[in-house]
């Protein structure tokens, strides 16, 4: 597992780039006191550590006493943030708007009301242009305060105009909140549970979605109202495995940014997430050509100035681009070729260990395990699956379950029959406890239990019989989730034909491409 320090100051220090570290030193030295020198000493000590270790820190820096450490850390944290705040960031729209708001308050406190209102007009115009409704509303509230306390005569019908604008901004913000809440709650469901596991889940999600979707949502044409509506439908369709709905709204998500290119700079992470979901939609629908077109577009963006303008954009771009690159190898059946990506992915996971959430690391480990399994290296697949199984996290019960199932199949491939009887019972109990057993999994477990007592000829017949049974469920929405996590049909075909899994998948890809060309 990548080591993850929970010390907030250490995480902040490690997130700084060279220019930011240099700026911090200059910032502190301008009005340096003896206590400031100790904070610089603490800063340098933290910067040299690979992982946060308080005992080692105090041993190496005897001038810093344990009793002082808590206060020094708090002071250093504030100073770093203050030094970062004065760095000009032309890409951050929110910081620029906040700076203008600060100027207007300074002018107001000086009694320069008309100048303050003039600055607020700039904020308001800029905020509306960039769809920053919260800043727009803040300016209106401040304007109302100035007008209520002082007679500025800055324009005719000021009260009526302000009242109308506040109502408009308030309505837009209310709709954004309702839709963003819906989207977030649906996403939370997916992160915790994955896809709907049966009729009960489907009915619960449908009821939740329909009761929380505002009836007037489609009447709002602002960028973020439309975005959160599309995002909500994306998660809704994906959870229900309505993949066409998922694809349609992923496309709308990305199209909204293409129609307003400025928003790619205003909210880059949302654009990156949109590209990721569109790629994922093409992946699960096996739209090979469209997948490659969007992947090329993403690769180009990955090297752009915008994608590298800050750590957040860099981390998100890496996660989603390399997830797509792995998926490309799954689509094409080129598992062995895909192994070349693993050292780079591992290096980035280590580099971004303080900035990547555990969910994304879990996904990478599962995909890497599948890559090794598909290439025939079952021992390496088991190594990565053990990382997931032994990592005690309360996320993605779906990945937790299918990691155990793939772990079981990898041991079956290695002929570790002494382990298998125990593992079959253990994995079955785990999946049943997590309410993750579908008809497909039940059939797989039934087969594995019987297979221990069959000779080679009988095993092949059993593989053929199991394949026939599972193919009946492939287009069943309630059972198709099993095939999204693990291409069990291709594995069975490989056992029947006695060829590697990647050969089977590569041939399927070749036939699919060939039929599209005809």
Q: What's the rounded Cα separation, in Å, for the pair 400 and 358?
A: 13
pTM of the model: 0.83
Q: Supply the pLDDT for residue 269.
A: 94
Q: Supply the pLDDT for residue 460.
A: 87
- 8 A C-beta contact, residue 295 and residue 332: no
Cα 247 to chain centroid, rounded: 18
Q: Supply the pLDDT for residue 60.
A: 85
Q: Supply the pLDDT for residue 453.
A: 74
Q: Supply the pLDDT for residue 154.
A: 57
Segments in the chain below pLDDT 50: 1-2
Helices and strands of the chain, counted as H and E runs: 27, 0
Instruction: Give the angle subtended at the CA of 157 by the CAs of 154 and 158, to the nearest 5°.
Output: 50
Q: Supply the pLDDT for residue 430.
A: 84
Cα 96 to chain centroid, rounded: 26
- 8 A C-beta contact, residue 431 and residue 400: no
Q: What separation in angstroms does the CA of 482 have from each of 333, 374, 387, 404? A: 19, 17, 21, 13
Q: What's the rounded Cα separation, in Å, for the pair 481 and 41?
A: 54
């Amino acid at each position: 597992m990548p080591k993850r320090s929970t010390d907030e100051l250490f995480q902040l220090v490690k997130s700084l780039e060279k220019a930011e570290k240099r700026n911090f030193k200059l910032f502190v030295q301008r009005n340096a006191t003896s206590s400031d020198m100790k904070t610089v000493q603490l800063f340098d000590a933290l910067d040299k550590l690979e992982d946060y270790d308080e005992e080692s820190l105090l041993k190496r820096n005897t001038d810093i006493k344990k009793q002082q450490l808590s206060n020094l850390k708090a002071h250093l944290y504030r100073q770093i943030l203050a030094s970062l705040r004065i760095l000009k960031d032309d890409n951050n729209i929110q910081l620029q708007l906040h700076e203008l708001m600060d100027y207007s308050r300074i002018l107001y406190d000086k009694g320069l009301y008309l100048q303050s209102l003039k600055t607020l007009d700039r904020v308001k115009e800029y905020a509306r242009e960039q769809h920053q409704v919260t800043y727009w509303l803040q300016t209106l509230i401040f304007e109302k305060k100035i007008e209520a306390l002082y007679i500025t005569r800055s324009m005719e019908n000021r009260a009526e105009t302000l009242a109308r604008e506040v109502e408009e901004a308030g309505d837009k913000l209310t709709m954004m909140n309702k839709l963003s809440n819906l989207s977030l709650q649906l996403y939370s469901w997916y992160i915790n549970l994955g896809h709907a596991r049966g009729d009960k889940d489907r009915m619960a999600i449908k009821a939740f979605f329909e009761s929380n979707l505002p009836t007037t949502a489609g009447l709002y044409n602002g960028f973020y109202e439309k975005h959160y509506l599309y995002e909500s439908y994306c998660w809704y369709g994906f959870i229900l495995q309505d993949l066409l709905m998922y694809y349609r709204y992923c496309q709308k998500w990305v199209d909204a940014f293409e129609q307003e290119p400025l928003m790619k700079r205003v909210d880059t992470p949302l654009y990156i997430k949109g590209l990721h979901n569109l790629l994922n939609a093409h992946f699960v629908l096996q739209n090979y050509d469209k997948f490659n077109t969007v992947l090329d577009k993403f690769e180009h963006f990955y090297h752009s100035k915008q994608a590298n303008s800050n750590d957040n954009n860099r981390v998100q771009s890496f996660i989603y681009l390399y997830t797509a690159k792995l998926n490309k190898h799954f689509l094409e059946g080129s598992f062995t070729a895909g192994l070349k990506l693993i050292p780079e992915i591992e290096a980035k996971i280590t580099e971004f260990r303080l900035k990547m959430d555990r969910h994304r690391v879990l996904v990478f480990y599962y995909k890497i395990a599948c890559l090794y399994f598909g290439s025939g290296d079952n021992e390496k697949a088991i190594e990565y699956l053990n990382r997931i199984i032994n990592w005690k996290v309360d996320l993605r019960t779906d990945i937790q379950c299918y990691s155990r199932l793939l772990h079981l199949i990898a041991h079956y491939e290695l002929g570790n029959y002494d382990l298998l009887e125990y593992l079959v019972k253990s994995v079955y109990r785990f999946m049943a406890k997590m309410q993750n057993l579908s008809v497909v999994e039940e059939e797989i477990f039934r087969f594995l239990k019987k297979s221990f007592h069959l000779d080679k000829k009988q095993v092949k017949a059993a593989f053929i019989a199991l394949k026939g049974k599972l193919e009946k469920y492939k287009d069943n929405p309630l059972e198709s989730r099993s095939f999204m996590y693990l291409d069990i049909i291709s594995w069975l075909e490989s056992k029947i034909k006695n060829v590697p899994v990647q050969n089977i998948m590569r041939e399927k890809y070749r036939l699919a491409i060939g039929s599209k060309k005809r």
